[in-house]
């Protein structure tokens, strides 16, 4: 196709043709290199590489952990009374409240009606108790008088001044008075029981009214509000509010057991919040002791040195400067990866030998080697991903 015909094609077709040519050219170059690079090298020639001698070096590292801002202690607020309807919500998320402060108003009309009824029952019980007490006093006086008459009659009956029939009447009168006294005592006990029951009903009504009050059990920050006007308390069992006690916030981190082992209680840290320039000083407050079965991770708690102007749920990065220690470090280019396993290559009698290693931290273009190599070994520091086990290599320089 000559240049004139190409110029007459639409722009989008010319663009597509150009891209197709570039892609085809790239594929041909890659194929040519892959099929001829090996043949271009003599069969007995080795890959030219540089190598390093493994040694322990001082390591100053900063551990980067990720978590989120949470309340150090969360306190849910429930409505103890399971009756009534919320008529007014007095606080919202982000408000600071004091212990005992009312958070929402609940309609307590039913409880108030029950209280009025209980007060009426109590008043009747008080009257009945007073009447029973008066009746008991009268019964005691009547019995005392009948007993006195019976004793006097017995004395004069000895002298024959009264008949036996009259004395018998006085004895029967005393017995009847004693029976009435016992009856009065029983009535008083029943009246007392009714009065105590009426008092309990009033107390129960008062308690229901008090339980309907949604108040803050502690001072703190409102971090969640579920209460809404018109909500029936009987239709939900969730907390109406969630408070951060004293407004104290911290960072919750989930990390591996290996990483947590390098951290200690009280270790200073710096906390950075996503999309914020300012950082906050803090320290490791608590290390979890329970490892979660599903991911073998545990939790760390980081406390702030000063109360930050943050909100629960914000993403946070925690930077921990670890104590200086000696460690084996190699360049990133010396590490080969196959699946989940990491490898390095040593040079032995002019050939590459693959060694499985366990890696640690990555920093400044280097990788920490935890196991697999020892000081004094020579490792190929480049082309690890392209070397094969047993391949001949030519070391042109040793970098220490």
Q: Answer left, alpha or beta for residue 364, where phi above 0 means left and psi between -120 and 50 means alpha.
A: left
pLDDT recorded at residue 145: 92
**Cα 158 to chain centroid, rounded:** 93
Structural element, H or E, at residue 343: strand 341-348
In this structure, what are the phi and psi dihedrals at residue 35, rounded to the nearest 5 degrees? -90, -20
CA dist 250 and 306 (Å) reads 11
- DSSP for 41-85, written as a single string: S-TTPPEEEEEEE--EEEE--EEEEEEEEEESSEEEE--S-SS-B
Written in H, E and C, the secondary structure of 92-126 is CCCCEECCCCEEEEECCHHHHHHHHHHHHHHHHHH
**Cα 128 to chain centroid, rounded:** 56
The CA-based angle 295-341-64, given to 5 degrees, is 55
Q: Contact 81/106 with Cβ under 8 angstroms? A: yes
Q: Helix 164-211 and helix 109-158: axis angle, to 10°?
A: 160
CA dist 353 and 297 (Å) reads 35
CA dist 329 and 326 (Å) reads 9
Instruction: For the chain, give the number of residues.
Output: 400
pLDDT digits (tens, 9 = 90+) for 366-392: 888 989 999 988 888 877 667 888 889
CA dist 242 and 91 (Å) reads 12
- DSSP for 223-267, written as a single string: EEE---TT-BGGG--S-SEEEEETT-EEEEEEEEHHHHHT--TT-
pLDDT digits (tens, 9 = 90+) for 256-301: 887 888 888 999 999 999 877 788 999 999 988 788 767 778 889 9
| The model's pTM | 0.53
Written as six digits, the tokens of 330 are 């190699």
pLDDT recorded at residue 25: 59
pLDDT recorded at residue 10: 52
Q: For the chain, list residues with pLDDT below 70.
A: 1-45, 81-83, 293, 384-385, 397-400
C-beta neighbour count of 94 within 10 angstroms: 10
């Amino acid at each position: 196709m000559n240049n004139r015909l190409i110029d007459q094609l639409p722009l989008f077709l010319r663009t597509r043709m150009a891209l197709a040519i570039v892609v085809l050219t790239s594929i041909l170059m890659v194929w040519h290199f892959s099929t001829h690079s090996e043949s271009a090298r003599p069969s007995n020639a080795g890959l030219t590489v540089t190598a390093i001698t493994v040694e322990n070096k001082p390591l100053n590292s900063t551990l980067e952990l990720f978590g989120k801002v949470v309340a150090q202690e969360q306190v849910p607020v429930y409505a103890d009374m399971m009756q009534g309807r919320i008529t007014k919500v007095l606080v919202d998320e982000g408000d600071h409240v004091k212990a005992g402060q009312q958070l929402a108003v609940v309609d307590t009309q039913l409880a108030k009606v029950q209280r009025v009824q209980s007060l009426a029952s109590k008043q009747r019980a008080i009257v009945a108790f007073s009447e029973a007490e008066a009746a008991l006093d009268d019964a005691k006086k009547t019995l005392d008088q009948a007993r006195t008459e019976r004793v006097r009659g017995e004395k004069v009956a000895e002298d024959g001044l009264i008949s036996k029939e009259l004395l018998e009447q006085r004895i029967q009168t005393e017995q009847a008075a004693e029976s009435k006294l016992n009856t009065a005592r029983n009535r008083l006990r029943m009246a007392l029981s009714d009065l105590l029951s009426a008092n309990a009903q009033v107390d129960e009504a008062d308690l229901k009214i008090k339980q309907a009050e949604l108040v803050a059990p502690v001072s703190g920050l409102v971090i969640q509000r579920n209460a809404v006007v018109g909500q029936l308390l009987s239709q939900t069992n969730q907390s109406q509010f969630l408070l951060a006690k004293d407004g104290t916030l911290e960072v919750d981190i989930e990390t591996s057991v290996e990483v947590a082992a390098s951290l200690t209680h009280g270790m200073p840290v710096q906390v950075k919040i996503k999309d914020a320039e300012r950082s906050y000083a803090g320290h490791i407050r608590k290390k979890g002791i329970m490892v979660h079965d599903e991911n073998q991770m545990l939790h760390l708690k980081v406390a702030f040195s000063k109360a930050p102007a943050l909100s629960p749920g914000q993403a946070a990065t925690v930077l921990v400067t670890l104590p200086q220690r000696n460690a084996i470090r190699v360049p990133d280019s010396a590490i080969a990866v196959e699946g989940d396993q990491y490898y390095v290559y040593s040079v032995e009698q002019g050939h590459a030998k693959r060694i499985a290693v366990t890696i640690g931290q990555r920093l400044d273009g280097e990788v920490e080697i935890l196991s697999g190599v020892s000081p004094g070994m020579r490792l190929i520091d480049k082309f690890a991903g392209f070397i094969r086990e047993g391949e001949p290599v030519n070391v042109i320089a040793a970098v220490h």
